[in-house]
Amino acid sequence: MSIKDPQQDTDLIYSKPQVKVADFQFDAQVVEVFPDMIKRSVPGYNTIIDTIGNLAGRYAKDNTNIYDLGCSLGAASLAMRRSIQAKDCKIIAIDNSEDMVDRCKIHINAFKGDTPCEVKLGDILTEPMENASVIVLNFTLQFIAPEKRAQLIENISKALVPGGLFILSEKIYDQDPVCKELLNELHHDFKRANGYSELEIAQKRSAIENVMKPDHLSNHLQRLQQAGFSHATPWFQCFNFFSLVAIK
Ligand SMILES: C[S@@+](CC[C@H](N)C(=O)[O-])C[C@H]1O[C@@H](n2cnc3c(N)ncnc32)[C@H](O)[C@@H]1O
Ligand SMILES: O=C(O)C(=O)C[C@]1(C(=O)O)C=C[C@@H](O)C=C1
């Protein structure tokens, strides 16, 4: 009988001092601990995933595509597949990390569902999107080069059918430096409460600082308006993490 090592799935990546902290990558090491890492790092992650499922159930239309952009291990795709009742829909989950995509395929295939789900290795900046009733960008835009974000949001808008839904979740910063610092501190307290040490928090911070560039809420709203969305509202915020819905 084999007994699983309980630490095997725990994020300990930044627990030992590193001489030089390398830029964060969605590689094989991160894949192993990703569910633990994201749950302990992103306040409200489970609520956001459950609500993406609920929203997809409401907005998925017959004979359309549902996109999960930057799908990682497929948590949002699985939640959507559980609640979509519309007929002849297809979920297309895309990620540009080969390690993520390989593991995502295993996760998706581990569960049965009526809606087919294709997991694709690809760059969401160039992958074609069309005839979509729901598009999800859950904590992915922050990893896209800032100058490429507006074009991606425009492509998303063009791919949506009228009445189609876009769900965007991101880390944000507050423009007021005092509020920015407070939200940051509250987020770090959240990480501390979830067992991350000061060293882990500091090293993770250096690892993501060159690769993850959050926007202010007003940047997001402005981009959505420019891309032709008729309605948009944040539906969730906890500290410096938020999620919004926009309707075409
Ligand atoms: C924080 S994770 C997303 C979490 C995931 N959406 C979830 O709900 O669990 C960001 C993901 O975006 C992917 N990513 C970053 N840039 C990308 C790009 N240009 N094309 C496709 N995927 C990308 C990364 O490989 C990573 O898996
Ligand atoms: O802001 C942080 O400290 C994070 O760890 C955030 C964040 C994210 O929002 O995607 C960064 C990388 C990991 O994917 C998990 C969480």
Residue nearest (by alpha carbon) to ligand 2 atom 13: 38
pLDDT for position 6: 65
Separation between Cα atoms, residue 163 and residue 123, nearest integer Å:
26
Is 54 annotated as a binding-site member?
no
Cβ-based neighbours of 232, under 8 Å, separated by 6 or more: 221, 224, 225, 244, 245, 246, 247
Is 68 annotated as a binding-site member?
no
Q: Considering the chain, what percentage of its residues have pLDDT values greater than 70?
A: 98
Atom of ligand 2 at shortest distance to CA of 143? 10
Provide the mean pLDDT of the chain: 96
Residue among 34, 47, 66, 96 to mutate when testing ligand 1 (max atoms within 8 A of CB): 96
Residue nearest (by alpha carbon) to ligand 2 atom 15: 38
pTM, whole model, 2 decimals?
Answer: 0.97
pLDDT tens digit sequence for 203-234: 999 999 999 999 999 999 999 999 999 899 99
> What is the CATH architecture of 45-173+212-247?
3-Layer(aba) Sandwich (3.40)
pLDDT for position 215: 97
Atom of ligand 2 at shortest distance to CA of 241? 9
Region 190-195: mean pLDDT is 98
Is 71 annotated as a binding-site member?
yes
**Cβ–Cβ under 8 Å, residues 200 and 14:** yes
Residue nearest (by alpha carbon) to ligand 1 atom 1: 139
Q: Is the pLDDT of residue 102 over 60?
A: yes
Q: Is the pLDDT of residue 34 over 70?
A: yes
Q: How far is the CA of 42 from the centre of ligand 1 (A)?
A: 14
Q: Is the pLDDT of residue 155 over 60?
A: yes
pLDDT for position 3: 61
Q: Is 248 in the pocket of ligand 2 (CB under 6 A)?
A: no
Residue listed under structure tokens 């907005």: 59
Is 44 annotated as a binding-site member?
no
pLDDT tens digit sequence for 60-98: 999 999 999 999 999 999 999 999 999 999 999 999 999
Question: Which ligand ends up closest to the CA of 46?
Answer: 1
- ipTM above threshold 0.95: yes
**Cβ–Cβ under 8 Å, residues 178 and 248:** no
Q: Is the pLDDT of residue 21 over 60?
A: yes
Region 148-161: mean pLDDT is 98
Region 97-111: mean pLDDT is 97
Separation between Cα atoms, residue 211 and residue 225, nearest integer Å:
26
Q: Considering the chain, what percentage of its residues have pLDDT values greater than 90?
A: 96
3-state secondary structure of 222: helix
Ranges of H-type helices in the chain: 28-41, 45-59, 75-83, 98-109, 149-159, 177-193, 198-209, 217-226
pLDDT tens digit sequence for 41-61: 999 999 999 999 999 999 999
Q: How far is the CA of 181 from the centre of ligand 1 (A)?
A: 26
Q: How far is the CA of 38 from the centre of ligand 1 (A)?
A: 12
Separation between Cα atoms, residue 215 and residue 142, nearest integer Å:
7
Region 21-47: mean pLDDT is 97
